[in-house]
Amino acid sequence: MASDRPIIRAENVSMEYARGGEVVRALGGLSLDVREGEILCIVGSSGCGKSTLLNIIAGFLKPTEGRVLLRDEPITGIDTRCGMIFQEYALFPWKTVQSNVEFGLKMKGVDKGTRRETAAKFIKLVGLEGFEKAYPAELSGGMRQRAALARSLANDPEILLMDEPFAAVDAMTRQLLQDQLVDIVAKTKKTVIFVTHSIDEALILSDRITVFSSRPGRVKAILKNDLPKPRSAAAQLSPRYLELKSQIWDSVQEEVLQQIALMERIQR
Ligand SMILES: Nc1ncnc2c1ncn2[C@@H]1O[C@H](COP(=O)(O)OP(=O)(O)O)[C@@H](O)[C@H]1O
Ligand SMILES: [Mg+2]
């Protein structure tokens, strides 16, 4: 159950990149609260700064202006309370599933016995029992993403930052991964910030959905997703689902069109 206390607060965050002689303004004064225990989905046109925001929250990047607070304290660098999961599988190809999941714990100096035990628990949680000794190349895309999730969970982050993590897997696997993620988040009580291109994915996963404006990214809209849980395939046929979907689509479409118009003007 989501509480009202923000675990993450982005205050007036701007980010500018220097590219060649130009400045690219990726985020333009973005403010956003993330509540403890919620799954917050971010949707928005490509290039509107979604990954940039996740990288700032993860402490990989420092904003040009503004700040991000984690439990009321400014984020100044990489924090183990935030675990990042990318679209590309962030696994070491030369390590087995087991060693990948144990990696963060090993870095922290956790003893071998505890590492084994913790890894076993999370490998089981994501449904990869029996694949402990397999290498990433021997796994399907969906399984690799589950291994990446287990690896992140083993570090016990409070917040999972997920950047289009299921974008590269097929539709059926994707649905399975979504169901599993909802289940795991409920069991482990994590807060999740999940970036996706898919409005359907956002509607299936989220407690709230935020639509970003086109670049420079800001929060254009925030919607509460009041669809009853669990959100089975049948839920996607309900009038409320379609109502929310068209509301989000209208909001995203406006921004996509604006982005296209902007690019055409630049090219002319
Ligand atoms: N390291 C970088 N250097 C220069 N420009 C960048 C860099 N990273 C991202 N950008 C630019 O910033 C904008 C936002 O990028 P990004 O956050 O990746 O958007 P999104 O994830 O929403 O697609 C894009 O125009 C992108 O080209
Ligand atoms: Mg991105």
Could you give all domains of the chain from N- to C-terminal order, each with its CATH number?
Answer: 1-81+163-268 (3.40.50.300), 85-156 (no CATH)
What's the mean pLDDT in 179-196? 93
* Nearest atom, ligand 1, residue 52 CA: 17
The CA-based angle 55-141-174, given to 5 degrees, is 80
Structure tokens of 188? 């482990």
What's the mean pLDDT in 176-182? 91
| 218 C-alpha to ligand 2 centroid (Å) | 15
The pLDDT, as a whole number, for residue 4 is 64
The pLDDT, as a whole number, for residue 262 is 78
Q: Which ligand is nearest to the CA of 87?
A: 2
pLDDT band at 107 (very low <50, low <70, confident <90, very high): very high
What's the mean pLDDT in 137-154? 93
Share of the chain above pLDDT 90, in %: 77
C-beta of 46 in contact with ligand 1 (< 6 A): yes
What's the mean pLDDT in 219-238? 90
Report the DSSP beta bridge partners of residue 70: 8, 73
Contact 92, 111 (CB under 8 A): no
Question: Taking the mean position of all CA atoms in its chain, how far away is CA 85?
Answer: 7
Does residue 172 surpass a pLDDT of 70? yes
pLDDT band at 3 (very low <50, low <70, confident <90, very high): low
Q: Which ligand is nearest to the CA of 214?
A: 1
